[in-house]
Structure 1
Amino acid sequence: MHPFPIITTKKLILRKIEENDIPTILELMKEKAISEVTLNIPFPYSENDARFWINMARKGFENKNQYIFGIEDTATNNFIGGIDLAIEPNFDRAEVGYWLGKPYWNKGYCSDALATIINFGFEQLNLNKIFGVHIFENPASGKVMQKCGMQKEGELIDHIKKGDTYFSYVQYGITKNLWK
């Protein structure tokens, strides 16, 4: 098996998530706002949740159906969030998902990570399409996707349930031909 890829930009390093990232992950996840704008992150976030995420990353890479990267700031070497591609091999497409610790919001990190992972998906994984969703309550995520060339494809109303609440979301996508 090939080693987990490490992708470097001017601002970021996208790398494998490690056990020693758990304390930082837990510190970042103390902020309820992260859970409020994502579908798959619980609050409160426990050490078991972090271990589950790391194990999911390992299994996804082994099975070649998911690449979950930790996001590290090159200026400080701090772990600041995560980004992943969940691959649907029968369709040559993947869903992208991402989160950042609140201190790192609105600083261009997410746009940099998303553009980098889109390029990785098309150039290294030979995907045809990458799509992502955001809940209505997180329009900033839609702006990130638009900034990276993704186009709005539609809205799904009350489509996802988290706890006792139904959420609507917007889907964006980009194809390899549009990326070039």
Structure 2
Amino acid sequence: MEETTATIGPLDWFMDTSIETERLLLRPCRKEDADALTTLMTPEISQSVAVWPTPLLKQDTQEILRNNIEAMQQDAVFATVVMCKDSGDIIGWCKLDIADDQAELGYWIGAAFQRKGYAIELSRGAIAFAFDQLGVTSVRAGAQVGNTASLALLAKLGMTRDGVEAIWAPARQRFEDCAFWHLSRDDWRRLQ
């Protein structure tokens, strides 16, 4: 397999780029996604993610989107809404934070769309994008130590557990223990 290392840019490249999987489209977030994302966020989902508070007000979502759009314009993150290709409905969120030659994956799926294989599908698509389009050499992801579903998903992706770190969760204004995992580009290619 030929190795490619893409360079990010020109500015706003992320704003014109999407990830497509069999059933999903991960397209760059927009200001007008605030209503759909606000509606999808529930207390059950919020308790497992660091940035999205509950109750989530539309102005909170607008601020999250504004911050991510600004970071995308600086090629620091690739923040997307997750959409079902068949219906065009927004069903969740996926973000790759990019630093040096590593991307950190974060995602959530709305409650009505869980247990349908969307989380693994979007994660595989985002990881492939990070390696093939962004040229990173590793992808990192974390989940709260009690979030057994997300931890099982990270293992299913072929990731290796690194350990536990206390991370700041602005949604709850406290530090929380998260288990972090990683996957190298070479390991990802061996798994394909």
Q: Taking structure 2 as the reference length, what is the TM-score of the superposition?
A: 0.85
Shift of 1:105: 1.3
State the distance in 1 between where 2:66 and 2:151 align. 28
Shift of 1:50: 1.1
State the distance in 2 between where 1:76 and 1:141 align. 26
Question: 1:97 — aligned with what?
Answer: 106
Shift of 1:133: 0.6
Is 2:69 the counterpart of 1:22?
no
Contact 2:30 2:69 in 1 (8 A): no
Question: 2:187 — aligned with what?
Answer: 178
State the distance in 2 between where 1:144 and 1:100 align. 13
State the distance in 2 between where 1:166 and 1:6 align. 33
Shift of 1:168: 1.4
Is 2:97 the counterpart of 1:86?
yes
Residue 22 of structure 2 aligns with an amino acid whose one-letter code is K
Q: 1:93 to 1:161 in 2, by over 3 A?
A: closer
Q: Give 3-state SS (helix, strand or coil) of 1:10's partner.
A: coil
Comparing both chains, which one has the higher relative contact order based on Cα–Cα distances under 8 Å and sequence gaps of 6 or more? 2
State the distance in 2 between where 1:105 and 1:143 align. 14
Shift of 1:4: 2.3
Q: Taking structure 1 as the reference length, what is the TM-score of the superposition?
A: 0.90
State the distance in 2 between where 1:160 and 1:106 align. 27
Residue 41 of structure 1 aligns with an amino acid whose one-letter code is W
State the distance in 2 between where 1:42 and 1:36 align. 8
Q: 1:164 to 1:85 in 2, by over 3 A?
A: closer
Q: Give 3-state SS (helix, strand or coil) of 1:141's partner.
A: helix
Question: 2:147 — aligned with what?
Answer: 138
State the distance in 2 between where 1:119 and 1:56 align. 25
- Tell me the number of residue pairs that the alignment of Structure 1 and Structure 2 aligns: 175
